């Protein structure tokens, strides 16, 4: 179980998260929506442990651990995965090399031997078929010259290979063509099981049509201002966020 | 007579009295430099008169020079009278007596680099005869070379065995007047390597200083001469990845390469001098003059170097492209971490027609390291159809380090084609976070990015050397971030 309790965080002295509360159980898929600049990516970064962010208050319980006590790579080893909204390019680093380094770092943390070259290639090629990526991407530098959609597929590929317990997808559906969108949705669906938790940050209903989240939350101005079932996403698609400002104002006064 | 000269005089007497050096102390010349010192060194080595005269000319010229001032290096003044200019291979007065006396940090590094146990003592400068298990290896090695007619021996040995070659080529690429440190080296050089590849011979193996056992003690003024006769080929490897401990702070080596018609010389260096302790104390000053002459038509010389270590590095391997259609190449990775300063680069001098040069320089700065690239491409009026391509990239790790590039192009021939590309990149927080999020440690992330950055240079190194170089960078960058 993942419990975010009154989480407050700032960047360069500016408060961004102003008391986020959210509980997620194994097997659940939570969608997080909200206007631009609300703090969605910031929340994802705080959970993953980005060094630029300072947590000023609150806590995050991750099963039996205090998540905020762990170093970013330890969180990764513990099963936290974040698909980046803007995946970073690593010039000179071959994708195959990077994937292998990541997989073996996880295996090492679990006390397993490194994967041999043959098993690695086999496992990676299988996963690449699932996300619709050509094998030639293994020989290219990580995210260098990848199109927007190719970067997102590459994120999903990493998710499949690292087999996370808690996957955060930050706008993995943005900028995708219809095929890519289906790939991402199927990627999530295929991993969905009773032990895994997803936090899917999105602006669009399209992805949620396939994924069918258990819960939908709206983050605005650093707080979760509304939570509901899948129907909330439909309402948002229809009416936008404007009607929620009342809710927010009302909450602030109380 | 000054007391210093008196001391040398005493040494000379001692030597002549006994005919050989008896006690350990007498093996080392007391500090100081004078004409007598030069004569003493030459006599000690039993050198022919032409060599003594050459040394003396150099010494007299050196006395008229003053130490150069460097724009981008901060150097404490060097007291040339406080240096001892001769130390026989077996006398290492201040050397540790056993591995127990060696800086544990250094030993830790050997461990990480995977240096075999039996070699660690020799590398750490322990005062025992360097006993390598590789004696038998070295012997088979020598037999094979002799079969091919290749000469590969110490410089001193070559002076005795092949004086005519020394006389013909010494100082023809780097004249004794070349620069302050080359002049000093010409006067007092201790030893070094000599290579001769006969006409039409492709040297059957990589020549590595590693196998030349006495190379361990060639001292601070090393001299190397490589001659490749027409249609021959040689690949020469200098140094090794293990940090060399050395009590001599100043190193001023000279390397001369001569490639005749269609000959090719590939010279690779992986250098990792002891950078000193945590405060930079005891680090090596490394002033090297390396130059190759593509004397023959369609000859080729390429320098590949991976440098880390020394407190101060000043080094510009250069190629003089005399022969028509000759080719010069320079591939370099220079890393400066801690308080290290590196000032490196190359000179390509185009004299012949249709000569071509390529320069790929990768500078990495971390910690408080300062890295400067200084390159010069000169095309003389007669060098019709000359081409140069230069690529000069810098990678910064952290925010207290610096990179500087000083390209200099001097083209006196209209149809020369000269291309220059430069870039500076920084390993960003976002890149590191991306790797961390995938479970990769910060150190592995940095070394992964650095290795990627250096790939085009590592590809030029012989396979085994490339693997070592990669490991070396990893170890050198430990703790560079965070
Ligand atoms: N380094 C920074 N310095 C100052 N402000 C920052 C910094 N990083 C983020 N912010 C601000 O924090 C706020 C939240 O940003 P965040 O990226 O979390 O929004 P988001 O909800 O993900 O928006 P979007 O839907 O556009 O992706 C924004 O106003 C942003 O400008
Ligand atoms: Mg965002």
What was the ipTM of the complex prediction?
0.95
**Residue A41, ligand 1, Cβ within 6 A:** yes
Ligand 1 centre distance from Cα of residue A36 (Å): 8
Q: Which of B426, B437, B453 to mutate to test the interface with A (most CBs of A within 10 A)?
A: B437
Calculate the dihedral angle through the C-alpha atoms of B47, B50, B55, B60, rounding to the nearest 10 degrees. 140
Within 10 angstroms of residue B389's Cβ, the number of other Cβ atoms is 16
Specify the higher pLDDT residue, B334 or B74: B334
For the cut 90, the answer to whether the pLDDT of residue B75 exceeds it is: no
pLDDT, position B16:
27
Contacts A73 to B, Cβ<8 Å: 436-437, 439-442
The angle at the Cα of B380, spanning B265 to B182, to the nearest 5 degrees, equals: 55
Tokens of B471: 């490991």
User: Do residue A82 and residue B448 have CB atoms under 8 angstroms apart?
Assistant: no
For the cut 80, the answer to whether the pLDDT of residue A95 exceeds it is: yes
Percent of chain A exceeding pLDDT 90 equals 80
Worst-scoring range by mean pLDDT, B106-110, B134-138, B378-382? B134-138
Tell me the helix, strand and coil percentages in chain A, rounded to 5. Answer: 45, 30, 30
Specify the higher pLDDT residue, B209 or B473: B473
Q: Which of B432, B446, B440 lies closest to A76, judged by CA?
A: B440
Identify which ligand lies nearest to the alpha carbon of A40: 1
For the cut 90, the answer to whether the pLDDT of residue B86 exceeds it is: no
pLDDT, position B248:
57
Q: What is the mean pLDDT of residues A191-204?
A: 94
Local confidence band at B308 (pLDDT 50, 70, 90 cut-offs)? confident
A30 touches A24 (CB < 8 A): yes
User: Do residue A73 and residue B451 have CB atoms under 8 angstroms apart?
Assistant: no
Give me the half-sphere count of Cα atoms (radius 13 Å) on the Cβ side of residue B95: 25
């Amino acid at each position: 179980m993942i419990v975010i309790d009154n989480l407050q965080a700032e960047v360069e002295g500016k408060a961004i998260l102003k008391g986020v509360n959210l509980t997620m159980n194994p097997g659940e898929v939570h969608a997080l929506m909200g206007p631009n600049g609300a703090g969605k990516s910031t929340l994802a970064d705080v959970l993953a442990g980005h060094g630029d962010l300072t947590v000023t208050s609150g806590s995050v319980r991750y099963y039996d651990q205090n998540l905020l006590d762990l170093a970013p790579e330890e969180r990764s080893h513990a099963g936290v995965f974040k698909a980046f909204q803007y995946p970073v390019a690593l010039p000179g680093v071959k994708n195959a090399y990077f994937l292998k380094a990541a997989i073996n770092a996880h295996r090492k943390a679990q006390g397993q031997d490194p994967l041999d070259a043959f098993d690695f290639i086999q496992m990676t090629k299988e996963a690449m078929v699932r996300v619709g990526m050509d094998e030639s991407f293994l020989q290219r530098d990580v995210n260098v010259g990848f199109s927007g959609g190719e970067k997102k597929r590459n994120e999903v590929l990493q998710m499949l290979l690292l087999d996370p317990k808690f996957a955060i997808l930050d706008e993995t559906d943005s900028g995708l063509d219809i095929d890519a969108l289906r790939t991402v949705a199927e990627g999530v669906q295929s991993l969905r099981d009773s032990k895994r938790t997803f936090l899917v940050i999105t602006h669009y209903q399209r992805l949620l049509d396939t994924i069918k989240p258990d819960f939908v939350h709206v983050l605005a101005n650093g707080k979760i201002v509304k939570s509901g079932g899948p129907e909330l996403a439909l309402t948002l698609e229809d009416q936008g966020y404007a009607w929620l400002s009342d809710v927010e104002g009302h909450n602030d006064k109380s | 007579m000054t007391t210093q000269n008196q001391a040398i005089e005493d040494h000379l007497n001692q030597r002549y009295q006994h005919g050989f050096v008896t006690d350990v102390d007498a093996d080392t010349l007391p500090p100081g430099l004078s004409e007598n010192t030069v004569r003493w060194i030459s006599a000690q080595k039993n050198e022919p008169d032409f060599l003594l005269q050459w040394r003396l000319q150099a010494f007299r010229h050196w006395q008229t020079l003053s130490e150069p001032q460097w724009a981008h290096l901060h150097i404490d003044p060097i007291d040339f009278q406080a240096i001892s200019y001769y130390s026989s291979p077996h006398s290492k007065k201040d050397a540790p007596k056993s591995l127990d006396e060696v800086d544990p940090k250094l030993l830790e590094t050997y461990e990480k680099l995977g240096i075999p146990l039996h070699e660690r003592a020799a590398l750490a400068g322990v005062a025992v005869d360097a006993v390598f298990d590789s004696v038998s290896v070295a012997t088979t090695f020598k037999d094979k070379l002799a079969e091919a007619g290749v000469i590969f021996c110490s410089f001193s040995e070559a002076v005795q065995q092949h004086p005519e070659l020394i006389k013909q080529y010494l100082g023809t690429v780097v004249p004794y007047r070349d620069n302050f440190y080359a002049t000093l080296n010409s006067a007092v050089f201790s030893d070094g390597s000599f290579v001769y590849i006969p006409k039409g011979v492709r040297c059957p193996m990589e020549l590595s200083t590693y196998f030349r056992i006495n190379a361990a003690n060639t001292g601070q003024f090393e001299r190397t001469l490589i001659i490749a006769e027409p249609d021959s080929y040689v690949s020469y490897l200098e140094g090794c990845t293990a940090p060399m401990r050395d009590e001599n702070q100043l190193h001023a080596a000279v390397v001369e390469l001569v490639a005749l018609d269609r000959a090719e010389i590939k010279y690779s260096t992986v250098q990792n001098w002891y950078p000193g302790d945590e405060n930079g104390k005891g680090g090596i000053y490394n002033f090297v003059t390396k130059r190759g002459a593509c004397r023959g038509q369609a000859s080729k010389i390429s320098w590949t170097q991976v440098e880390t270590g020394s407190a101060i590095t000043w080094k510009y391997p250069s190629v003089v492209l005399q022969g028509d259609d000759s080719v010069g190449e320079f591939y370099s990775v220079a890393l400066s971490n801690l308080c290290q300063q590196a000032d490196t680069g190359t000179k390509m001098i185009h004299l012949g027609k249709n000569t071509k040069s390529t320069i790929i320089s990768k500078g990495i700065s971390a910690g408080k390291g300062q890295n400067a690239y200084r390159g010069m491409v000169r095309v003389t009026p007669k060098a019709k159809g000359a081409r140069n391509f230069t690529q000069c990239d810098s990678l910064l790790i952290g925010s207290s380090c610096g990179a500087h590039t000083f390209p200099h192009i001097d083209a006196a021939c209209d149809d020369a084609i000269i291309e220059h590309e430069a870039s500076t990149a920084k390993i960003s927080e976002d890149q590191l976070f991306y790797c961390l999020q995938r479970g990769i440690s910060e150190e592995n992330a940095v070394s992964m990015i650095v290795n990627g950055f250096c790939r085009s240079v590592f590809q030029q190194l012989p396979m085994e050397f490339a693997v070592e170089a990669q490991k070396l960078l990893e170890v050198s960058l430990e703790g560079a971030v965070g």
